[in-house]
Amino acid sequence: MDDLLQALRSCLRDAVRRCPAEVLFFSGGLDTSVLAVLTPPIPLLHISLEDRGADLPYAEEVARHLGLDLIVRQVSEEEALDALPEVIRIRRSFDPALPNDLALYFAFAEARRLGFGSAMTGDGADELFAGYSYMFDLDLGTYIPWLAKRMRFSASELGAWFGMDVSQPYLDPAVVDLALAIPPALKVREENGARFGKWILRKAFEGDLPPHLCWQSKRPVEVGSGFSRLRERVTAMVTDEDWAAPVRFFTCDQPYYYRVYGQVVGEIPPPAPGETACPACGAGMPPDARHCRVCGYWQ
């Protein structure tokens, strides 16, 4: 076990060296805290909805513990709502996960405003090391290799929009290969009476972080950043006409995103040759896909 833990530490450290960046998008969660441990001292950039984010105390504590500079940008609800059409236009999507993309959009906007040309993200850690609770009871030996071939992250599109390079050390081929070789039983495992995802990642770095930070629970981006609170405001703007649209919706705020999608993107693209139609919105999906990037359908 000690050899595997050391191999994981070394592999991630090498990946960080191969994927340098000028700023780290930082939540204070496990994934970005591990990157903060491994990177040369670079600023940490934390984004949250004004007075709403649960992540900020964690980000502040990790930054103090590691002696790193933390830049905090708090976004007002009005700023976030005003930016929503642009994010939908960039992503060409009315996925109900848009609050996640809003947080990331403001991270890139702030990084660019401060003069940074590249940013590091924690993309891929949850997918490769079973960080999501829905994964805990799946056949991870089959599911994670399948997922690893299909992972897509909005940071790539948003970073390109802002003209910034995006560093994603967890997606480094050597890290992916090592993660796929790690037995599922070391990814989801009990510790101190609780069941944790990313168990092996936590064990590899538990000496670098205070225990309550290393073994903190997973907080979705939109919850930790506070952007999930926008759903109430957006839902209040949904009309009966929005609900009458010829697509299947999954959340109460999604009909508004669809309305804006129609205004800033246009019609849903039909399937291209070789694609299948999304059961929810009709957009084209690869034959073996389980997720529609246009509407967020997932099976």
Q: Domain end: 185, 202, 229, which one?
A: 229
- Geometric angle at alpha carbon 100, from 27 and 126, rounded to 5°: 60
Digit-coded pLDDT (tens) for 275-290: 999 999 999 998 888 8
Q: Does 93 lie in the same domain as 165?
A: yes
- 116 shares its domain with 138: yes
133 with 22, same domain: the answer is yes
pLDDT score at 150: 87
Percent of the chain clearing pLDDT 90 (strictly above): 87
| Residue 269 is assigned to a structural domain of this protein | yes
Chain Cα centroid distance, residue 275 = 26
Verify that 171 and 279 share a domain, yes or no.
no
Q: How confident is the model at residue 294 (pLDDT cuts 50, 70, 90)?
A: very high
Which of 229, 253, 270 terminates a domain? The answer is: 229
Same structural domain for residues 140 and 281?
A: no
- pTM value is 0.94
Measured CA to CA, the distance from residue 249 to residue 6 in angstroms comes to 46
Is residue 2 predicted with pLDDT exceeding 90? Answer: no
299 assigned to some structural domain: no
Q: At what angle do helices 254-264 and 77-91 cross, to 10 degrees?
A: 60
In this structure, the answer to whether residues 28 and 7 fall within a common structural domain is yes
- Same domain, residue pair 223 and 236: no
pLDDT mean across residues, the chain: 94
Residue type, 93: S
Question: Does 298 map to a domain?
Answer: no
Same domain assignment for residues 142 and 249: no
Chain segment 178-212, per-residue pLDDT in tens: 999 999 999 999 998 899 999 999 999 999 999 99
Task: State the pLDDT confidence band at 219, using cuts at 50, 70 and 90.
Answer: confident
Answer yes or no: is pLDDT of 111 > 90.
Answer: yes
Q: What CATH number is associated with residue 158?
A: 3.40.50.620
Domain boundary among 206, 229, 252: 229
Look at the chain and report how many structural domains it folds into. Answer: 2
Q: Same domain, yes or no, for 137 and 275?
A: no
pLDDT category at 147 given cuts 50, 70, 90 is very high
Mean pLDDT confidence for 62-86: 96
Q: Is residue 277 part of a domain?
A: yes
pLDDT score recorded for residue 193 = 87
Average the pLDDT over 139-163 and give the result: 94
**In terms of residue numbers, what domain contains 261?**
231-285
Q: How far is CA 18 from CA 15, 57, 231, in A?
A: 5, 30, 38
275 is a domain residue: yes
Q: How far apart are CA 104 and CA 198, in angstroms?
A: 23
DSSP 199-255: HHHHHHHTTTS-HHHHTPPP--HHHHTSGGGHHHHHHTT--HHHHTSSS--SSTTHH
59 and 194 fall within a common domain: yes
Q: Is residue 26 part of a domain?
A: yes
243 and 269: one domain?
Answer: yes
Judgement on whether residues 10 and 126 belong to the same structural domain of the protein: yes
